[in-house]
Amino acid sequence: MPLRLPDKLPAIDLLKQENIFVMDDSRAHMQDIRPLKIVILNLMPLKITTETDLIRLLSNTPLQLEVSFMKLRSHTPKNTPIEHMMMFYRDFEQMRNEKYDGMIITGAPVETLDFEEVNYWDEMRDIFSWARTHVTSTLYICWAAQAGLYYHYGVPKYPLQKKMFGIFPQVTLEPQLPIFRGFDDVFQMPHSRHTELHREDILANPQLTLIAESPDCGVSMVMARNGREFFITGHLEYAPDTLDKEYKRDKDIRDDVDLPKNYYRDNNPANGPLVTWRAHANLLYNNWINYYVYQETPYDISKIE
């Protein structure tokens, strides 16, 4: 089944070039199907890039998905045209009374700040609380994973001496879970962050289950509420060239930027990236949609509790 996306969303043309089947709202309304409603709170600076990355992964399911985009009233993005935001995004307040089968909350470039210092923290707290009663399963990514664990469970984050930057092997600790169906014992995940979680804080809370970690980059995936919440500290959604662009951007600004680890062929930027995470990224999102959204959400979406 195709993805149902807002009319004229830039990702539509980009993904059609990759032979991914998407349709806009106008055509989708002609089909008599109850699609799964997925809302994305996109806090990343380059919103069009993140939209495309996430939609690419969501497309890898036979289920029809209707994707909506949420924005914050308390924050105005600087790197995305205001026309794009007005056309494709709605404020949280406009969506507060709606319910969704699944939700994705992305990372944000504010991780070096204390959570309470983030100028939109109050609105984020409202959204975290709202998601528990209006969404069947929520996927928290990178900063959102740390913020969600802090808000819901009091788990702190810790500053790193050096940026965690590159592709790192992850070990599945609960391989029997449906989220890992089809996974290998070890899978790769991109990371780009200045803070971390400590495993002892996760293990000390009986409401949380540490389900994947890395000997190199620590806690990578945490599950709560039987899969109604997943917290992922890395970026499986990243496109092949995302870390390359980030490295070159930072290298032009500072002189202390390290190469992303385990990323470039022969550790040489001139040789381009070696993509080792894409298959598991598609598998994880497909498993999430199938086992934790589609099979758990009520047919009558108003009955989500």
What tens digit of pLDDT does each residue of 155-186 get? 999 999 999 999 999 999 999 999 999 999 99
Q: What was the pLDDT predicted at 12? A: 67
The residue length of the chain stands at 305
* 201, 165 Cβ separation under 8 angstroms: no
Provide the 10 A C-beta neighbour count for residue 226: 11
Catalytic site residue 142? yes
Q: 51, 213, 229, 237: which is the annotated catalytic residue?
A: 237
Q: Which distant-in-sequence residues (6+ apart) come within 8 Å of 14 by Cβ?
A: 52
Q: 51, 111, 142, 196: which is the annotated catalytic residue?
A: 142
CA 185 to chain centre: 22
Q: 152, 191, 235, 280: which is the annotated catalytic residue?
A: 235
Q: What was the pLDDT predicted at 160? A: 95
- 26 phi, psi to nearest 5 deg: -60, -45
* 247, 259 Cβ separation under 8 angstroms: yes
> From CA 184, how far away is CA 113, in angstroms rounded?
36
pTM: 0.90
Q: Which residues of the chain have pLDDT under 50?
A: 1, 28, 30-31
Model confidence pLDDT, tens digit, residues 69-125: 999 988 777 767 777 777 888 999 999 999 999 999 999 999 999 999 999 999 999
* 137, 296 Cβ separation under 8 angstroms: yes
